Amino acid sequence: MQKYRDQLDELRREFSVRDLPDIRFFQFGMGNRKKLIYKNGTLYDPFTGEMYRVWPMQSEKIIPNEYRVIISTESGRDVVIFENESGMFIREGSKTLQVEQTDALVKLPEFERYRYSEVLKVLHHEILINIVDSKPLPNFLVYSNPWRRDGAMMAMCLDSTGNLSLIRDWVMSIRDPYDRNNAGETEADNLGQTLFLVSLFSDMTHPVVPAILKEILHYEVRSGQEVYICGRSDFHEVPAYQTKWLKYGLLSLGLPDHYTIPKVQDDYASLFWWHYRESYLTGTTDAYEEWGMDKDPYPKYPYIGWAADHFHGKRRNAISNRDYPLSWEQDASQADYSGMKPIDEIFVKERISIPHTWHASEMFLYLLEFK
């Protein structure tokens, strides 16, 4: 725990910090396992409200980087709740029992080669905890459907840790080129994101691929000899970002690509940081600045800033001031914040979901570069 806190202190000095509500809890059920929440000596099901176990608590220690909670009970007995690659367990005295419906396997690297190894473990947990029945969710309490954008970023993290198989069933079941989560809009960046996701498990014979290739034509824009796509994502046009995703999806599947990334003002262009960097228009105003996050000590959409930092090689954006969780999203238009009630009413009132997988993924992928 001390090593984890030392790394957090160093990271906060390099980046910045946001104060989040001081609510002590921990989530269990990484990957496709039963979800349970620990809080104040109680282990409960957030979906049904069922109290799984209750212990008269004298003190507690939550150790996020070990996926572990230690409870000192009023009777003087220690209870250890922990999760590992094999499942979730409860140890009381000499007895250790596995919690039912938690035997699905996950891989939990130690990240020894990285400067922020213990932080990476916690971010990895925040990603894994939000996989439900193979669906990679932004936050399993406030979102019921996967978003292709968030899912694609989660997939990059899962690929790096050997956990891609956890979302295979969801990817193979996709038939619609769009997730339609933003007020039902068909967002053009979904096309490339879906192609990329398909490439992780299949090829051009996947049923959604022909549908995507047909949809692309609706967004094509011709400018001289160049062709790119332009549609709406997050309720505005971002052609450079959308075309980058399309090209990356086509490349991932080995499909023909005749598109050129337009060098235009696009506030989402820096969100795509891992390829096609040469196409960036110098002087572009990123969403980080355009949305005022460079002046906001409490950014609502921190993944935007972390992606921009990754693109530009800067260190401006925030992590939580709490040991756990480290990621969040606030005041999102499509989130149902009543889902946070099982953790605490304050998150409903302040419209905060924690953790959040796009934020956790952007931090995770950036910190992988710190060795």
- The pLDDT tens digits of the residues spanning 339-371 come to 999 999 999 999 999 999 999 999 999 999 998
Domain boundaries, the chain: 2-22+110-367
State how far the Cα of 138 lies from the Cα of 128, in Å rounded to an integer: 11
Query: What pLDDT does 295 receive?
Result: 79
Element (H, E) at 61: strand 57-63
pTM for the whole thing? 0.97
For residue 16, what are the β-bridge partners? 318
Of 123, 127, 161, nearest in space to 146 by CA? 127
> CA 264, 270, 272, 277 torsion: positive or negative?
positive
Give me 361's structure tokens. 């993924």
Is residue 76 scored above 90 in pLDDT?
Answer: no
- The pLDDT tens digits of the residues spanning 24-34 come to 999 999 999 99
- The pLDDT tens digits of the residues spanning 304-346 come to 999 999 999 999 998 999 999 999 999 999 999 999 999 999 9
Is residue 294 scored above 90 in pLDDT?
Answer: no
Q: What is the mean pLDDT of the chain?
A: 96
For residue 221, what are the β-bridge partners? 228
